[in-house]
Amino acid sequence: MSDVPQKLAERLLALQWQMATAESCTGGLISACCTDLAGSSAWFDRGFVTYSNDAKTQMLGVPADSISTHGAVSETVAHAMAIGAVYRSKAQVSVAVTGVAGPSGGSPEKPVGTVWFGWCINGLVATELQHFEGDRQFIRQATVLHALTGLLNRLPTST
């Protein structure tokens, strides 16, 4: 991967914060990347793998009408997932991802490689859209790295 998970761990430890994940297209890979580090229980609270629309609604509180109106792969849903992960955990920060990893499932509006990100830090949410080119494995790995880098870059350097 890179040194991003280690740097993220160090920053969260310095802040005395914990993180949570809300994952759809990555299926738990972000959580796995974080918990690959020894001692991660000091800064990693939990991960929500919400692959289905029902799981997004039941586990994270994403409004079903948001999914039906905007689609699961949307800014609205990524935003709601990020908030839900913080408010349904003990974490101060979260990262959420929802996208089309392929090789099927894309559309002209949301082609394979479309991923929406959400980061919630102390109740404030930032979202971002990315388009990754490559096969399913590459798209998922690129999503993990972008999600963790995005969180690291948004965290304060001190409290």
DSSP, residue by residue, 5-59: HHHHHHHHHHHT--EEEEESTTTTHHHHHHHTSTTGGGTEEEEEE--SHHHHHHH
Q: How far is CA 145 from the centre of its chain?
A: 10
Element (H, E) at 131: strand 124-131
- Number of structural domains in the chain: 1
What rounded mean pLDDT belongs to the chain?
Answer: 97
pLDDT tens per residue across span 23-66: 999 999 999 999 999 999 999 999 999 999 999 999 999 999 99
Q: Provide the percentage of residues in the chain whose pLDDT is more than 90.
A: 96
Place of tokens 């792969």: 73
Q: What domain range is 65 assigned to? A: 4-154
Q: How high is the pLDDT of residue 2? A: 82
Residue 159 resides in a domain = no
Residue 86 resides in a domain = yes
**φ, ψ for residue 86, nearest 5 deg:** -70, -50
pLDDT band at 159 (very low <50, low <70, confident <90, very high): low
Q: What is the CATH number of the domain that holds 76?
A: 3.90.950.20
Residue 44 resides in a domain = yes
- Asked whether 88 and 59 are in contact (CB, 8 A), the reply is yes
| Whole-model pTM over 0.85 | yes
pLDDT tens per residue across span 77-92: 999 999 999 999 999 9
